[in-house]
Amino acid sequence: MSARPSIGIFGAGKVGTALARLLVAAGYEVRIAGSPRQTALELLVAVVAPGAIVASPEALVEASDIVIVAVPFGKASTVPWSLFDDRIVVDAMNYWPPIDGNLAEVDADPRTTSEQNASRNPRARLVKSLNHLGYHEMEDDPLPAGDPLRRALAVVGDDPDARAALATIIDELGFDAVDGGPLANGLVLEPGHPAFGRELSASELEAMFAPVAHAAA
Longest distance between any two alpha carbons in the chain, whole Å: 51
Report the chain (217 residues): mean pLDDT per 10 consecutive residues. Answer: 83 95 96 80 92 96 98 94 98 92 93 98 98 92 94 98 98 97 97 94 95 54
- Asked whether the beta carbons of 181 and 168 are under 8 A apart, the reply is no
DSSP 36: T
- Predicted TM-score (pTM) of this structure: 0.93
The CATH superfamily of 7-216 is NAD(P)-binding Rossmann-like Domain (3.40.50.720)
Question: 193, exposed or middle or buried, with CB in 10 Å at 0-12, 13-18, 19+?
Answer: middle
pLDDT at 210: 83
- The answer to whether 207 touches 57, Cβ cutoff 8 Å, is no
For residue 179, how many other CB atoms are within 10 A of its CB? 16
